[in-house]
């Protein structure tokens, strides 16, 4: 199956094109826009980890190493499309136009962090594994029934393929030709469980065969491969030809979350070696240098601008009004039950320092 589903590259680890198929689309402005997005989201990710360590954010799910998979795929979307993220796909959400302060608010446990900007179809991050796949299929089918050319993309990790929702989502989408792209980021580990202990399949892309849909295995650290193959899958969806399964083979350098210790189950030496060789940002920088597009001053300015954007977002997040504790109780049901009202009263008494 690995021969049937080889890892597709457009750009190799040294920043050289291995295919001229998309060369005409690699304009200087396009390449720079991708680079700016990669720098922005990595700056966000590192800042979020720092904030968590300082007690200014809650437990956080980092993504460093997976930027190309998220940015490249989300950059291929159009206005009106749908994005269904997991708890780790904030780079994709930001690329598609989510508010960065709101993404920070999500990691502070604020319900406001689940609210996308007006007109943006971005679902709240799915924490239960794979539940978002049937949701994405449903949204895509709704667009199909409306007669639009809008499509959906749904993100999930390798661990999600062991859940029933994965199979239900793909099967339903296949049968009804839903305009949805199933985008898997294969990080080789579902928290501490390596892929070979989780499935007998050699690839995730091969699972497309069971549902009679196209499946591709792409280099998830090659932002060009990610962008153009996601675009190809989205165009297929827009033409009402049905879903596509994409497996982006990547590697996350850090922990599953800030509450996790990857040293207990993963060789950190391999992460160090992979970062030096296949880091998605270094790879694009190599391409830019090879192609005469690199400018030291411009690159420094991009870094500075990204830092300013993130610092401003942090300030906005931390200046947000204090949360309303009533939200914990008032929106569980359309009309609060007596049990909810009883819990709310007990909570208010505790706040007032009253004994119960």
Q: Quick one: average pLDDT of 241-257?
A: 96
DSSP-derived pairing of the beta strands 152-157 and 180-186: parallel
256 in active site: yes
Max Cα distance, the chain (Å): 73
Spatial CA neighbour of 161 closest among 222, 113, 120, 205: 205
Backbone phi, then psi, for 70, in 5-degree steps? -80, -50
CA–CA separation, 153 and 122 (whole Å): 10
Question: Of 256, 266, 283, 286, which one is the catalytic site residue?
Answer: 256
CA–CA separation, 133 and 136 (whole Å): 5
If you search the block for the tokens 């947000």, which residue do you land on?
A: 320
Q: Quick one: average pLDDT of 208-216?
A: 98
Q: Which residues contact residue 147 at a Cβ distance below 8 angstroms, ignoring those fewer than 6 apart?
A: none
Q: What is the pLDDT of residue 356?
A: 52
Q: Give the whole-number percent of the chain exceeding pLDDT 70.
A: 99
Spatial CA neighbour of 169 closest among 134, 144, 139, 130: 134
Question: Of 42, 252, 283, 286, which one is the catalytic site residue?
Answer: 252
If you search the block for the tokens 């993404």, which residue do you land on?
A: 103
CA–CA separation, 187 and 323 (whole Å): 35
CA–CA separation, 293 and 353 (whole Å): 64
Inform me whether the pLDDT recorded for 177 exceeds 90: yes
Alpha helices in the chain (DSSP H): 28-53, 67-74, 90-95, 100-106, 132-146, 164-176, 195-198, 223-238, 268-278, 280-290, 296-318, 327-330, 338-351
Model confidence pLDDT, tens digit, residues 70-79: 999 999 999 9
Question: Of 25, 53, 196, 265, which one is the catalytic site residue?
Answer: 265
Inform me whether the pLDDT recorded for 1 exceeds 80: no
> 231 by DSSP, 3-state: which?
helix
Q: What is the pLDDT of residue 320?
A: 95
CA–CA separation, 195 and 356 (whole Å): 51
Q: What is the pLDDT of residue 137?
A: 98
Confidence of residue 325 (pLDDT cuts 50, 70, 90): confident
Q: Quick one: average pLDDT of 138-157?
A: 98
CA–CA separation, 70 and 60 (whole Å): 17
If you search the block for the tokens 């391999």, which residue do you land on?
A: 270
Q: Quick one: average pLDDT of 160-171?
A: 97
Q: Quick one: average pLDDT of 6-14?
A: 97
Q: What is the pLDDT of residue 355?
A: 55
Element (H, E) at 248: strand 244-249
Model confidence pLDDT, tens digit, residues 253-290: 999 999 999 999 988 888 889 888 999 999 999 999 99
88 in active site: no
Please list the residues that pair with 83 across neighbouring strands.
Answer: 122, 153
Question: Which pair of tokens denotes residue 212?
Answer: 């009679």
> 63 by DSSP, 3-state: which?
coil
Q: Which DSSP state fits 324?
A: -
Inform me whether the pLDDT recorded for 352 exceeds 90: no
**Mean pLDDT, all residues of the chain:** 95
Model confidence pLDDT, tens digit, residues 109-136: 998 999 999 999 999 999 999 999 999 9
CA–CA separation, 285 and 32 (whole Å): 10
Q: What is the pLDDT of residue 214?
A: 98
Q: Quick one: average pLDDT of 216-221?
A: 98
Q: Give the distance, in angstroms, between the CA of residue 271 and the centroid of all CA atoms in the same chain.
A: 20
Model confidence pLDDT, tens digit, residues 88-98: 999 999 999 99
DSSP-derived pairing of the beta strands 121-122 and 152-157: unpaired
Q: Which residues contact residue 125 at a Cβ distance below 8 angstroms, ignoring those fewer than 6 apart?
A: 85, 86, 87, 88, 89, 90, 93, 106, 114
CA–CA separation, 2 and 86 (whole Å): 27
pTM of structure: 0.94
150 in active site: no
CA–CA separation, 42 and 61 (whole Å): 13
> 187 by DSSP, 3-state: which?
coil
């Amino acid at each position: 199956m690995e021969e049937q589903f080889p890892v597709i590259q457009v750009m190799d680890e040294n920043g050289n094109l291995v295919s001229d198929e998309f060369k005409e689309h690699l304009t200087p402005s396009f390449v720079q826009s991708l680079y700016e997005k990669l720098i922005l989201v990595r700056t966000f990710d590192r800042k979020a980890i720092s904030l968590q360590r300082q007690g200014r954010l809650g437990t956080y799910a980092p993504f460093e190493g997976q930027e190309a998979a998220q940015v490249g795929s989300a950059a291929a979307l159009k206005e009106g499309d749908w994005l269904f993220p997991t708890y780790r796909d904030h780079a994709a959400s930001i690329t598609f136009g989510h508010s960065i302060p709101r993404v920070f608010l999500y990691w502070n446990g604020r319900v406001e962090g689940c609210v996308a900007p007006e007109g943006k179809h971005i679902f709240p991050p799915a924490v239960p594994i794979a539940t978002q796949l049937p949701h994405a299929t449903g949204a895509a089918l709704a667009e199909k029934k409306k007669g639009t050319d809008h499509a959906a993309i749904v993100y999930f990790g390798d661990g999600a393929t062991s859940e029933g929702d994965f199979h239900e989502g793909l099967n339903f989408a296949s049968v009804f030709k839903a305009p949805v792209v199933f985008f898997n980021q294969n990080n080789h580990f579902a928290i501490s469980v390596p892929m070979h202990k989780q499935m007998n399949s050699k690839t995730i892309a091969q699972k497309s065969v069971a549902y009679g849909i196209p499946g591709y295995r792409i280099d998830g650290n090659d932002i060009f491969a990610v962008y153009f193959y996601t675009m190809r899958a989205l165009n297929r969806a827009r033409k009402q030809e049905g879903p596509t399964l994409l497996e982006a083979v990547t590697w996350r350098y850090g922990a599953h979350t800030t509450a996790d210790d990857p040293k207990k189950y993963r060789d950190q030496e391999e992460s160090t070696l992979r970062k030096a060789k296949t880091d998605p940002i270094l790879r694009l920088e190599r391409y830019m240098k090879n192609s005469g597009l690199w400018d030291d001053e411009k690159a420094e300015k991009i870094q500075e601008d990204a830092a300013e954007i993130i610092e401003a977002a942090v300030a906005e997040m931390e200046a947000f009004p204090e949360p309303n504790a009533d939200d914990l109780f008032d929106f569980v049901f359309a009309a609060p039950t007596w049990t909810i009202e009883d819990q709310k009263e007990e909570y208010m008494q505790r706040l007032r320092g009253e004994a119960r």
